[in-house]
A and B are shown apart, each in its own frame.
Chain A
Amino acid sequence: MTFATFIAKNALRNKRRAALSILSVAVSLFLLVFLMVGLRLFTHPPETAGAELRVAVRNKISITFLLPARQRPLIEKIDGVTAVTPFTWFGGIYKNEESTTFAQFATDPAKLRQIFTEMKMPEEAYTAFAAERIACVLGKLSADKYGLKVGDRIVLTSSLYPNPMEFKIAGIYSGTQDDKNLYFRQDYLDENSELKGQVGMWWLKVRSADDMPRVIETINKTFENTSAAVRAETERAFQLGFISMWGNISLLVSLISSAVVFTLLLVTASTMSMAVRERFREMAILKALGYRRHMLFAFILAESFGLAAAGGLLGIGGGYCLFTYGDVPKMTNGFITALQVTPDILGIAAAVTAGLGILSSLMPALSVMRMSVVQGLKSLD
């Protein structure tokens, strides 16, 4: 027998309790990883390819306020701007859905391709999209969900526009962060809209990252004292601006995470205290046999740490595998396309596990250290 064997045997002496302890740690650590991953998603949304050269331009007051189409040529003239497309929210509902289940935007097909280069579609799809008035392109996730294919016609009804609009699917795209959306032609929307000559926002591409700050500043200044002042910002800033509308998510998640960890600490500390209290007499025997206080402290610490580590491995490992290798879009119904379990997150979760193992054993271990052999021998089993 070794000390390691001795510790393991003690840790597993009550298999049901050990299993429940490990499970409770596993579930809690999984939840913690999930919260941290979710928080990261909101505070550091994944960067798409080409995002570093994209600029979002919206109404300065609110994104819900439209912009005049006449702004486009002015933006196109700015040195450093290589492509500009309108981006107007349609908000249509498909068939019997109760709400909008995938976003629809009116755009300029040719410019859309230039700006969102990560979008992958066959060449003929792009051609058809640009050629036909009612053509649209649909994200693969939505196409799969509704069983739609190229050539299908769909009708969308929006509360924002007077008439339902029929679209013909010219292509199905993939490769973007959000392969759910539908893109159609701005000029087709203008035919159907009482707000002709208005767009939701602009997306544009700059020549290089060096041009970005100057282009943004120029755009903002150009429309500063007009009836449609704009806010131009990088794609990242635009994404984070959306997230900030949800409130202080970071604080909320931190509070929930803290509550989870604290509760877990109480549970594991209670379990360890019970486990050690049952063994006071055995600890006294070990002391009588010559085992020093610090050794008994180490035994208890190792036992607690081992159980916490087993639970941590299960929970953190499970979270890592699920979020890294699992079909996240399918699991979240397309709401989330990817989750990143970064080394930082793994490190924090591992540190919480270690801290748990140590802290939950401190009080019982100190009791054992302070207990005299005579006191321990008198304690009841």
Chain B
Amino acid sequence: MEIHAVDSAPGVHYQLRVMADTSIVEIRDLTKTYLQGEIKVTALDNVSVDIAPGEFLALMGPSGSGKSTMLHIIAGVDRPTSGTCRVQGVNVPNLNESDLADWRNQNVGFVFQTFNLIPVLTAFENVELPLLLTRLNRRERREQVENALSLVGLKDRMKHLPRQLSGGQEQRVAIARALVTDPALIVADEPTGNLDHQSATEVMNILKSLSGQLGKTVIMVTHDPKAAAFGSRTIHLEKGELVKE
């Protein structure tokens, strides 16, 4: 890994750039601003990061630091004001709405703080949701869903509704849903925020194994240093900027 200084003159703020030999995610000079009433808010300010394949990256920072914004841009659910964000060589913000939707379905798995399972669907059906957009037939979908649920240890609960599951189980179903299309990237926004300690540990172990054993690139936003410790690398954001480590 190399560290590059933006400008070698004394007193200049170093912009942290971590360059891997091959990066699955390449972010260059990413900036996101938006208007809050009449006030212009800068969520991200010229951020540049590279993320290696199979890495488990934790994004930390105080509230409003831009970590969720960065995660959303990488995942293709938000667009930057300027800068580039390439994921597996694809300049994601440049994709049109339809292509972006397809790209997300095939390349990104989402895990949210509040699980966000559809309450009227069973665990099986929730996990199956992303597969309905593919060309897989019923049998193939069933196989993939069962595999995903097995990976998170919930195959025996596949007919349960979310309200019949504990918080930890719901989050595991959410992870199964994130995995089911076999995406290269798993993005997790405060995945343990609503969980007790034991469930949080279970979930973090699963995410770690996704990265370590299945080679998924996991990018996780967290406030929790204990959760961040599961990652292979942690970067900090403050007021939209990468903080030098």
Contact = CB atoms under 8 A, between A and B. Distances in A.
Contacts of A3: 132
A290 B77 contact: no
B120 A9 contact: yes
Which residue of A6, A285, A288 has the most chain B CB atoms within 10 A of its CB atom? A288
Interface stretch (B1-9, B22-30, B100-108): B100-108
A293 B110 CA distance: 18
A10 B120 CA distance: 7
Interface string B126-143: 001110110000000000
B119 interface: yes
B72 interface: yes
Nearest to B110: A288
For chain A, give the interface size range. 20 to 34
A1 B133 CA distance: 12
Contacts of B125: 1, 6
B73 to A, nearest CB: 10
Interface in B67-114: 72, 75, 77-78, 97-98, 101-106, 110, 112
B121 A6 contact: yes
A282 B104 contact: no
A292 B101 CA distance: 6
A96 B198 CA distance: 87
A288 B103 CA distance: 10
B75 A1 contact: no
Which residue of B78, B104, B116, B128 has the most chain A CB atoms within 10 A of its CB atom? B116
> For chain A, what secondary structure do more than half of its interface residues adopt (helix, strand, loop), or is it mixed?
helix
B78 A377 contact: no
B214 interface: no
Given A6-B121, A10-B120, A13-B119, A290 B133 contact: yes
For chain B, give the interface size range. 20 to 34
B75 A288 contact: yes
B130 A290 contact: yes
B118 to A, nearest CB: 6
A290 B106 contact: yes
B120 A281 contact: no
Contacts of B130: 289-290
Nearest to A293: B97
A287 B118 contact: no
A115 B5 CA distance: 111
Contacts of B101: 287, 290-292
A268 B88 CA distance: 46
Contacts of A373: 72, 77-78
B105 A281 contact: no
B112 A282 contact: no
Given A285-B116, A289-B130, A290-B104, A1 B98 contact: no
A374 B129 CA distance: 20
A286 interface: yes
Contacts of B116: 281-282, 285, 377
A377 B120 contact: no
A289 B133 CA distance: 9
A324 interface: no
A372 interface: yes
A44 B117 CA distance: 57
Nearest to B180: A289
Interface string A254-297: 00000000000000000000000000011001111111110000
B120 A288 contact: no
A290 B102 contact: yes
Contacts of B105: 289-290
Contacts of A282: 116, 118
Contacts of B120: 9-10, 12-13
Interface in B207-223: none
Interface string A276-320: 000001100111111111000000000000000000000000000
B90 to A, nearest CB: 15
A306 to B, nearest CB: 15
B64 to A, nearest CB: 14
A36 B40 CA distance: 59
Closest CB pairs A-B (n = 3): A290-B105, A373-B77, A9-B120
9 contacts: A2-B132, A6-B125, A281-B116, A285-B112, A285-B116, A289-B129, A290-B102, A291-B133, A292-B101
Interface of A: 1-3, 6, 9-10, 12-13, 281-282, 285-293, 372-374, 377
Given A1-B128, A372-B77, 6 more contacts: A281-B116, A286-B129, A290-B101, A292-B101, A373-B77, A373-B78
